[in-house]
Structure 1
Amino acid sequence: MSTDASAGYDRRDWQEWHEQRIASAGEPYGPLSLTGTHWLADHPEGRIPAVPGLWADDGDHVLLTAGGEDGLTLDGKPFTGTVALAPDHAPIPASRVAHGDRRLVVLRREGLWAVRDFDPRAPARRAFTGIEATPYDPRWRVRGRFRPYGEHRSVRVENADGRERGLGLGGEIVFALDGTEHTLRAAVEADGSLWAVFADATSGDGSYRFRFLRPGAPAADLAVDVDFNRALLPPCAFADHFICPFPPPGNTLPVAVAAGERNLAEG
C-alpha cells in the first residue's frame, strides 16, 4: 500500500472513530446523562436530595432502604425493603437500581461510597451538538516505547471535583515529536492497554484543560502506537459530576498538541 493510500485509510478510520465517539456521547446513558455524584459521607442521615430511598454506608456494602412511595426498582422489579449493594461494574443501563428511566449507579473510591444519577433527560444531553476535533494529521501519530516501572506506583493528584485521590501508574510512554523526546506516565489497564492523562500548550486555550490518551497494549518488544489524533476529552468535559484525575507531575507537554478532541461543540 502506498503512503498516500495508507494515509487515506487512516483518515477514514479516524473519521469513523470520531463519529462513533459523538454517537456514544449522545446515547441515553452516555456521559452527558450524569446529573449527580452523591457521596454518602456528605449525607450522613442517608437522604440524598433528588435521589429516592435511604442510602447508608455499611462498610463493604451500601444499604438501600426503600418504600413503595420511592418508586425504585431493583433488577427490573419494583423494590421495597432493604438490600445490600456492591459497586456497579456492569454497563450503566444494567445497573441494579433505577427510578423510572434514571439509573442509580453505586460507586466506591478509596473506601468512600457514592451514588451516581444518570438521567436520559439531562439538560446537557438535550443541548449536545457534537465534539470539536482537529482533522486527522499523520504527523501526530508516532511510534513510541513503553518503559514499565519495576513495581506499581501511585501518586496523589487533584481530581475534577476538587478532591485529591491516588492515581496508579505502571510505567512511562517514551516518544518523539519533531525530533524531541517526551514521556508520559501511564496506567496499565486490566486488558494490558495504557491510559495517560496529559496536558499540553493548548490546554485551556484551544482545547479542554487536560485530555486522555489510550494507546493499545504494548507489543512484545514494548513498542506503542502513540496517536494524538485520538486524544480524548475526559468524562468531566461532558458533565461536571465526574471525578476525572488531573495530569500527574511530568505529564504536561511543553508543545502544542493540535490534534484530537478539543472541546464540546458550541450551540
Structure 2
Amino acid sequence: MSTLALVLSLALQASPPATKPLPKPAAQAEKKAPAEDVAAATQAWHAERLKRLQSPDGWLTLVGLTWLKEGEQTAGSAPGSAVPLPSPAPAQAGTFVRKGNSVSFQPAPGVASTLEGKPFTGGALKTDEKGAPDVVRLGTVSFQIILRKDRLGVRVKDSDAAARKQFPGIPMYPASADWKVEAKLVPDDKPRMISVPTVLGHAEEMKSAGTLVFTVAGKEYRLTPVGEEGDGELFIVFGDETNRDTTYGAGRFLEAPLPDKDGRVVLDFNRAYNPPCAFSRFATCPLPPRGNRLALRVEAGEKRAGEH
C-alpha cells in the first residue's frame, strides 16, 4: 500500500530561531567514509531519485485527485465533470460508479482506454489498498483508485504535465560524512501501532519498527521508523528546524537499511528527501508522527523545492 501530504503546523511556518545552529555532529574519523566517497555516493543516489521522480508515472505527473461519492460520477475534460481530467483526455471520457468500497469505470462510447497494455472496455478497478492498483490509461492521461480510511479517490496523472516537462531539479545541501550517523534500533517491548498524521487531516495507524537512538553533537535524539514485517528497509518521516526556512515545511522522508545483528543502523541524512506533496497539492502524504520532530538543524539532503 502506498504510504501516505494540507495544513502545516504553525511552528514549522515560523521564522527561523535567532540562536546559532548546532554544530555538525562530531564523529570518530575511523567510522566515517572519506568525504569524497560520500559525495559521489550521494550524487549517484540523487541522480536515481530524480530519474524516478521524472519518470512518465512519477510524482511530477500528478495533476488531480477527486474523492468519489456513492453512485455515478462522470469523468472528462469538459467543464463541470464530476471527475475532472486534463485536456488531453476526451471531454466525456466515461463514468465512475462507487458502490460501498467498490469502484468501476465505464468508458464512454468511442473512447479508447487501456489497462495493463490491453484494451479496457469497463469494469471494477482494484485500489491501492493491498499493493499496486489498476491503472487505466487514456493517451498521456492515466488514473487509479486510492483508498484512504473510508474515502475512495481517483488519482489522475498526465505524463505531459508541465511540472514534469519544466522540472528545474531539487537543490541539495553539500554532502557530508558528518551526516552519516550511527543509530541503535531499540525494539518495542511488544508490537505497537503509532498514529501518523496526514495532510488529509486524519491519521493512519502504522506499525512501529522500534525506536532509533542516535547522538548529534553530544546530544541524544530519537526517531520512530515505521514498516511492516518483510519490508526491506526502515521508513522515517521526520521534521527538523530547517523546515522553518531551507527545507520543506511539512518535513522530509528518510529510508535506512535494516539493523545488523547488534541493532546498529546507519542514518544517512544526506539522503533525506522531499515528500510528494512538495511537488503536488494532490498528494496524500504522511506527516511526522509525535516525537519525530527533531530540535536540531539537519543541514543535509534535499532542500525546499516547492510548497503545496
- Give me the TM-score of the superposition, normalised by structure 2: 0.76
Aligned partner of 1:173 among 212, 215, 218: 212
1:7 and 2:7 are equivalent in the alignment: no
1:70, distance to aligned residue in structure 2 (A): 3.7
C-alpha spacing 1:230/1:117, structure 2 compared with 1 (3 Å): same
**Structure-2 residue corresponding to 1:164:** 202
1:71, distance to aligned residue in structure 2 (A): 3.3
Write the mapping of 1:15-94 to structure 2, written as runs, cut at 5 A: 15-41=43-69, 44-47=71-74, 48-51=82-85, 52-80=93-121, 82-88=122-128, 89-90=131-132
**Structure-2 residue corresponding to 1:194:** 234
Give the Cα separation in 2 of the matches to 1:262 and 1:177. 20
Q: 2:94 is matched by which residue type in structure 1?
A: G
C-alpha spacing 1:39/1:216, structure 2 compared with 1 (3 Å): same
Asked if structure 2 preserves the Cα contact closer than 8 Å seen for 1:60 and 1:86, the reply is no
**Aligned to 2:185, what secondary structure does the other structure show?**
strand
1:5, distance to aligned residue in structure 2 (A): 6.9
Asked if structure 2 preserves the Cα contact closer than 8 Å seen for 1:67 and 1:79, the reply is no
C-alpha spacing 1:117/1:68, structure 2 compared with 1 (3 Å): same
1:242 and 2:280 are equivalent in the alignment: no
What CA RMSD, in Å, does the superposition of the two structures yield over aligned residues? 2.4
Q: Which has the higher relative contact order, 1 or 2, with Cα contacts under 8 A spaced 6 or more apart?
A: 2
Aligned partner of 2:303 among 241, 259, 262: 262
The structure where strand makes up a greater share of residues is 1
Asked if structure 1 preserves the Cα contact closer than 8 Å seen for 2:32 and 2:178, the reply is no
Number of positions where the alignment pairs a residue of Structure 1 with one of Structure 2:
258
**Aligned to 2:43, what secondary structure does the other structure show?**
helix
- Give me the TM-score of the superposition, normalised by structure 1: 0.87
Q: Which runs of 5+ in 1 are unaligned?
A: none
Percent identity reads 34
Of 51-60 and 204-213, deviating more is 51-60
1:121 and 2:160 are equivalent in the alignment: yes
Q: 2:37 is matched by which residue type in structure 1?
A: Y
1:138 and 2:177 are equivalent in the alignment: yes
Give the Cα separation in 1 of the matches to 2:305 and 2:255. 19
Q: 1:64 is matched by which residue type in structure 2?
A: F
Asked if structure 1 preserves the Cα contact closer than 8 Å seen for 2:42 and 2:175, the reply is yes
**Aligned to 1:17, what secondary structure does the other structure show?**
helix
**Structure-1 residue corresponding to 2:16:** none
